[in-house]
């Protein structure tokens, strides 16, 4: 049963990484769009929005790193588990 759980989690992590990467790309593109345009009429609102986007980028980057670390650990566990079964 442990092997099934490991493989299942590994599969889900593998699916989540591209979603996080896509969200990260979208946030970076949105932030770049803010930087490319002329100063806004409501500068405080835009600055707050940019800070929110930067926070989201940091969070997504941390999430992506954690997923990659979990993926590596799961692969090691799966290999170790498989080798122990033979």
Question: Where are the chain's structural domains?
Answer: 2-78
Predicted pLDDT at 1: 59
- Which of 1 and 16 is assigned the larger pLDDT? 16
Running DSSP on this structure, what letter comes out for residue 1?
-
3-state secondary structure of 41: coil
pLDDT in tens, 2-47: 888 888 999 999 999 999 999 999 999 999 988 877 666 787 888 8
What angle separates helix 2-36 from helix 43-85, to the nearest 10 degrees? 160
pTM for the complete prediction?
A: 0.80
What's the average model confidence in pLDDT over 51-65? 97
């Amino acid at each position: 049963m442990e092997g099934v759980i490991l493989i299942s989690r590994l599969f889900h992590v593998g699916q989540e990484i591209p979603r996080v990467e896509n969200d990260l790309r979208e946030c970076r593109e949105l932030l770049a769009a803010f930087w490319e345009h002329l100063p806004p009429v409501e500068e405080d609102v835009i600055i707050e929005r940019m800070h929110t986007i930067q926070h989201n980028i940091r969070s997504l980057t941390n999430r992506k790193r954690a997923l990659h670390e979990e993926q590596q650990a799961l692969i090691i566990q799966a290999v170790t588990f498989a080798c122990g079964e033979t």
